[in-house]
């Protein structure tokens, strides 16, 4: 391990202290070697510019100039390592330890923190929180528990100063992320107080974060682009038959990824020519038309493409043991494949996951003059206001439509 010397720059000295800290956190020699390469270049860059502190602004400039990294999205595996290395240095400069940015189910926390997750499960059960949101509860709580673990804090020993320190660690995150993080804490901490785990209701310390509702305009593509993606599917092979049926459900009916993954044979009402199921996000039943096009695509897949399996869901993996897609699988690998095959241009910052089919269907219906309540019902929205955000996509096309939007 390198030791600080009197001639070392402040940034290099910080790098040495960070590396010593990471050794205590059981980072492997190979991992540190990858990070050390970036830190060395960061220190040289700081020396050249006369920089004495690890600041996010100049590090962002460094990443852009040396590695072509302009944001955290769409990075290669190597670029993610560079981005993470710079972020660790910023964390250590600011907090004296490194924040965990990714939290997976494989992480095992000490048993003393288990009651936090149990409280979350209790809250979600009492309030009938959807499964997808429950998983998000767990992700955000892991961030909080990681903080407690890094400070070796017992839950019963948490004080106001510790909570304020944790809130500071959230500052680099997006406002929407921070808002949900605080929502989770405000939901769970009162239960810990009620159960006598904490001596006070720590949720009262959580600040409010104002996030503009539906500030982002949903990404949508033209009907021609959507058709080009569908036409790019090779329906002569089993996987292509599956993918085509999946994409049709998203493009023609606007089904959410979670509902496509969970779609079962009993949800297809052939005699009534309809699809009927309980939406995973809202818990509400929705009934949608089963078109001739979609019906034959499903039949073609089930009869000629679907592997022999006992799985109760319609769409399965085409790799043994031919089971259902995982709950965290957003099927983006499927859509990305056909975006590329169809040669669809994706501008920087524009999304191109499965959900864009839903966005595109909504914007197309509105552009064709379909009344907002009808679009809302077709998409399974519980409130018309939720659908109203799609009006932002093609304002020019919609100015001639007389749409009454009730604002609550």
* Residues 174-195 as b or e (16 or more Cβ within 10 Å = b): eeebbbbbbebbbbbbbbbbee
Q: Is the CB of residue 150 less than 8 Å from the CB of residue 144?
A: no
254 phi-psi bin (left φ>0, alpha ψ -120 to 50, beta other): left
Residue numbers annotated as active site: 256, 281, 355, 358, 381, 390
**For residue 119, how many other CB atoms are within 10 A of its CB?**
21
Neighbouring residues of 224: CB distance < 8 A, sequence distance ≥ 6? none
> Residue 269: phi, psi to the nearest 5?
-100, 90
Q: Is the CB of residue 198 less than 8 Å from the CB of residue 155?
A: yes
Q: Report the C-alpha gap between 365 and 226 in whole angstroms.
A: 14
26 phi-psi bin (left φ>0, alpha ψ -120 to 50, beta other): left
8-14 CB contacts, 8 Å cutoff, 24+ apart: 9/43, 9/46, 9/47, 9/52, 10/46, 10/52, 10/53, 11/42, 11/43, 11/46, 11/47, 11/51, 11/52, 11/53, 11/54, 11/89, 12/43, 12/47, 14/54, 14/89, 14/92, 14/93
């Amino acid at each position: 391990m390198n030791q600080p010397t009197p001639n070392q720059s402040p940034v290099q000295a910080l790098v040495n202290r960070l590396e010593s800290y990471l050794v205590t956190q059981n980072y492997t020699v190979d991992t540190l070697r990858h990070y050390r390469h970036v830190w060395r270049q960061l220190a040289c860059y700081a020396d050249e510019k006369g920089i004495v502190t690890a600041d996010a602004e100049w590090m962002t400039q460094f990443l852009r100039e040396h590695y072509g990294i302009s944001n955290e999205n769409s990075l290669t595996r190597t670029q993610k390592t560079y981005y993470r290395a710079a972020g660790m240095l910023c964390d250590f400069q600011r907090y004296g330890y490194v924040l965990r940015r990714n939290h997976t189910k494989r992480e095992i926390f000490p048993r003393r923190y288990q009651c936090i997750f149990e409280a979350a499960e209790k809250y979600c059960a009492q309030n009938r929180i959807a499964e997808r949101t429950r998983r998000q509860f767990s992700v955000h709580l892991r961030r909080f528990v990681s903080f407690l673990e890094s400070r070796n804090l017992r839950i019963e020993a948490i004080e106001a100063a510790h909570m304020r320190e944790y809130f500071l660690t959230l500052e680099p995150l997006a406002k929407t992320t921070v808002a949900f993080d605080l929502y989770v804490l405000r939901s769970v901490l009162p239960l810990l107080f009620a159960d006598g785990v904490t001596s006070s209701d720590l949720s009262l310390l959580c600040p409010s974060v104002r996030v503009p509702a539906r500030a982002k305009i949903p990404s949508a593509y033209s009907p021609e682009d959507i058709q080009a993606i569908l036409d790019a599917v090779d329906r002569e092979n089993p996987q292509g038959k599956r993918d085509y049926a999946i994409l049709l459900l998203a493009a023609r009916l606007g089904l959410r990824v979670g509902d496509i993954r969970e779609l079962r044979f009993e949800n297809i009402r052939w005699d009534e020519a309809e699809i009927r199921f309980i939406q995973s996000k809202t818990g509400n039943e929705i009934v949608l038309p089963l078109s001739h096009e979609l019906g034959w695509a499903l039949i073609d897949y089930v009869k000629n493409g679907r592997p022999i399996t006992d799985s109760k869901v319609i769409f399965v993996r085409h790799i043994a043991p031919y089971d259902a897609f995982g709950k965290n699988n957003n099927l983006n690998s499927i859509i990305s494949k056909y975006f590329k095959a169809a040669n669809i241009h994706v501008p920087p910052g524009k999304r191109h996951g499965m959900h864009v089919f839903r966005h595109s269907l909504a914007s197309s219906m509105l552009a064709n003059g379909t009344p907002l309540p009808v679009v809302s019902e077709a998409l399974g929205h519980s409130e018309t206001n939720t659908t109203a955000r799609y009006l932002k996509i093609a304002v020019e096309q919609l100015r001639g439509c007389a749409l009454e939007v009730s604002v609550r």
